[in-house]
């Protein structure tokens, strides 16, 4: 079930990038951010403060899921 969910999320990301990634009204401003998880330790980066905060929220959610799964909670 989780494998299917992973494929679904990846497909949705590609579809959204395809649909909205090449918009002409962006006025040349490009921003990006990311999250790398090495075990339970997150490494965050972003080009602006808003993206860094968004990545921190994602990191907290991923760590919470990790803790729940390590405790044996079935999702």
27-41 pLDDT tens trace: 667 778 888 888 778
Q: Which candidate, 15, 5, 65, places its Cα nearest to that of 35?
A: 65
Which burial class, exposed, middle or buried, applies to 58 when counting CB atoms under 10 A from its CB (0-12, 13-18, 19+)? Answer: middle
pLDDT band at 22 (very low <50, low <70, confident <90, very high): low
Max CA distance (Å), the chain: 48
- Which pLDDT score, from 0 to 100, does residue 25 have? 62
| % of the chain residues with pLDDT over 70 | 88
Alpha helices in the chain (DSSP H): 2-20, 49-70
Rounded mean pLDDT, 18-34? 71
Rounded mean pLDDT, 2-22? 85
């Amino acid at each position: 079930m989780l494998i299917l969910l992973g494929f679904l999320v990846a497909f949705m990301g590609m579809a959204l990038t395809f649909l909205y990634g090449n918009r002409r009204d962006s006025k040349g401003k490009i921003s990006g951010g990311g999250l790398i998880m090495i075990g339970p330790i997150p490494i965050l980066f972003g080009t602006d403060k808003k993206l860094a905060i968004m990545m921190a929220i994602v990191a907290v959610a991923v760590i919470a899921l990790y803790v729940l799964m390590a405790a044996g909670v079935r999702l």
